[in-house]
Amino acid sequence: MNSEAVAFYNSKATLPSAHKRIKQFVDDDQTLIGRVSVFNPKVLISDSGSGALFYCVDERQASTKDRKTGKIVKTPDKPDNVIQYRTRLDKTSQGVWKLTSVNVVPGACSR
């Protein structure tokens, strides 16, 4: 959960939510299986140098699997499971783009 890579690419503002998401899978002893499609990326760079990245994620062909019991819970085939991520990134003095905000909008993308 306290991976150096996760901390390297997340700001102080987004790191707690990244840790929370990872911790949820670890605590529940779950893993993702199946297929997740990422599509329709859009990148914008402002005059101030910050960046915005919008992209869509289709989770409808993915499932979670309990690693102890083997029980699989399929993701429902609903429009809300095609999600748009709206992110802001800022470049560090080392030239690394760090995530500074994330807004998740279920059902905002269509396939």
pLDDT per residue as tens digits for the range 44-69: 999 988 999 999 999 999 999 999 99
Q: Confirm whether pTM is higher than 0.75.
A: yes
What is the amino acid identity at position 12? K
| Per-residue model confidence (pLDDT) at position 35 | 97
> What pLDDT is attached to residue 91?
93
Q: What is the mean pLDDT of the chain?
A: 94
Distance between CA atoms of 16 and 79, rounded to whole angstroms?
Answer: 28
Structure tokens at 36: 């997740």
Alpha carbon 72 to its chain centroid, in Å, reads 21
Residue 2 banded pLDDT, cuts 50, 70, 90: confident
A 10 A CB-CB count for 74 gives: 12
Burial bucket for residue 82 (CB in 10 Å: 0-12, 13-18, 19+): buried
Q: What is the structure's pLDDT at 1?
A: 60
Query: 């306290």: which residue's tokens?
Result: 2
Q: Which residues contact 84 (CB under 8 A, 6 or more apart)?
A: 54, 55, 56, 57, 104, 105, 108, 109
